[in-house]
Amino acid sequence: MIGSLRSAAGRGVVRIEDVYPTDIKDLWSAITDPDRLARWYGEVEGELRIGGAYRIHLEGPGLYGAGRIEVCDPPRRLRVVSTETDESWRLGDALPDFDDSIDATLAADGDRTRLVIEATGMPLDKIAFYGAGWQLHAEHLADYLLGREPIAEPIRFEELLPSYQRLAADLG
């Protein structure tokens, strides 16, 4: 699986689509339950409801973020808007402040589930890194659902990055 990259209103858009070996309710739980999210994505806490605020910590990239839930239509669609927080700035890992939105759409596909993730708002000069990162998250989700250990994050990220750099170069 390789996602796609595009530009919209001068900002980056990453789209990742894959079919997962589980039913739609289980996949919804895997992307919305804080205990399950912590096993493949990151630590999430807060008011997990429409309009609710949340905080997130992604250990691999050292990202700390905060956001709000804009759409929550179980088990079909989740849309959140987030930004990095001061913790990321203190660690020296943050980019200039920007809001990004993440839209996850789920659809039953037989006994499996198709998940489309579209992340929007990142700087175009960093879109290749975000593309590789989002693919890595999607792969970690598949590994988690299958009970497999994921490939070490830095190694897999470095394998994915050249493909996304080529896609980013095509954006002009």
Total domain count, the chain: 1
What's the CA gap between 35 and 14, in Å, rounded?
Answer: 26
Domain with 88, as residue range(s), is 4-169
Give the mean pLDDT per block of 10 residues along the chain (172 residues). 92 97 98 96 91 87 84 97 65 60 97 98 92 96 95 90 96 78
Helices (H), the chain: 24-32, 34-40, 86-91, 127-146, 153-169
pLDDT of residue 98: 66
CB atoms within 10 A of CB 107: 14
Place of tokens 């890595």: 136
pLDDT of residue 89: 47
Of residues 101, 62, 64, the one with CA closest to residue 80? 101
Complete edge-to-edge strand list for the sheet that includes strand 112-122: 4-8, 11-20, 112-122, 100-109, 77-84, 63-73, 53-58, 43-46
pLDDT of residue 99: 79
The CATH number of residue 158's host domain is: 3.30.530.20
pTM of the model: 0.90
